[in-house]
Amino acid sequence: MAENRATEKTIASARWRVPIVVALVLATGCASTAPQVSNRVPGMELRTAHSSYHAFTRVRAYEYRGSLWLTGDARHTHGRNGVDSHVDLAVADPAGKIVQAVRLALRPAHRRGGSWNAAVFSARLPCPVAGSRVLLAFHDDRGGNEPSTTCSDNQAAAALR
């Protein structure tokens, strides 16, 4: 009889635990699609813009020895990438004027057969004034087969205008 009571208590306590555990797993187990952005520069807004083929996974901005340092990781979302893609960076002052537009090369983390699925980028720039906005955007060069060394149409600068 004592065994039955102990078993009933165990079952009763398990009944309220199961929904709580399921709720916790569902709440914390879902992966976020938002990039991890760490902006340690006071007074500066940092944003990222995904493309249909690429996503930012980690972006970090910080000041070091009078310069703005931007580093980040990129991921190709549809298998492997074999075209010349790069990251466009634009800095706008508080009035909205583009003060700097830069093309950042992607350095593949693992290259196999001329294609990649993960890459890193970095930049060292002069520190922007307070109230500046910085935007990072992917530029997919899907039109041509030849890699470009210049970027005549900076996607980030176009989005900030």
Mean pLDDT per 10-residue section of the chain, whose length is 161 residues: 57 59 54 71 90 85 94 79 76 93 84 71 92 88 48 78 72
The pLDDT of residue 49 is 87
Rounded-to-integer distance, Cα 76 and Cα 149, Å: 21
Locate tokens 């996503």: which residue?
55
**What local confidence, expressed as pLDDT, does residue 14 receive?**
54
**Which CATH class name applies to 36-160?**
mainly beta
Q: In Å, what is the CA distance from 11 to each residue of 3, 15, 21, 94, 109? A: 12, 6, 15, 62, 51
The residue whose two tokens read 């149409």 is 153
Domain parsing of the chain, residue ranges: 1-30, 36-160
